[in-house]
Amino acid sequence: MRYSSQVKPISYLKANAAEVLLDLAERREPLVITQNGEAKAVIQDIASYEQTRETLALLKILALGNQEVEAGRVTPATEVISRLRAKRVIR
């Protein structure tokens, strides 16, 4: 994905907001908005935003899990399964 084609000044956004929103939903690529020649914001369609948030949440869970493993705070799977069976969660 090339962001150079997805860079627009804020004046373009103001003049073409509806078109920009349709394009975002169709292309599912973020749009960089500039002000006075400097990148100031990135906008994206809601589906892409939600997908990004879900991905970040999963990555955070993985990172926390890795920290637990590195710290030695782990329980063997056989022990966990035994506990769950004792509570009748697994048959």
Q: Which amino acid is at 79?
A: E
Question: Do the strands 31-35 and 38-43 form a parallel or antiparallel pair, or are they unpaired?
Answer: antiparallel
What's the pLDDT at 10?
97
CA 15, distance to chain mean position in Å, is: 29
Every domain of the chain and the residues it spans: 3-44, 47-86
What's the pLDDT at 25?
95
pLDDT in tens, the chain (91 residues): 566 679 999 999 999 999 999 999 999 999 999 999 999 999 999 999 999 999 999 999 999 999 999 999 999 999 999 988 888 866 6
What's the pLDDT at 1?
57
Total-model pTM: 0.70
CATH number of 3-44: 3.40.1620
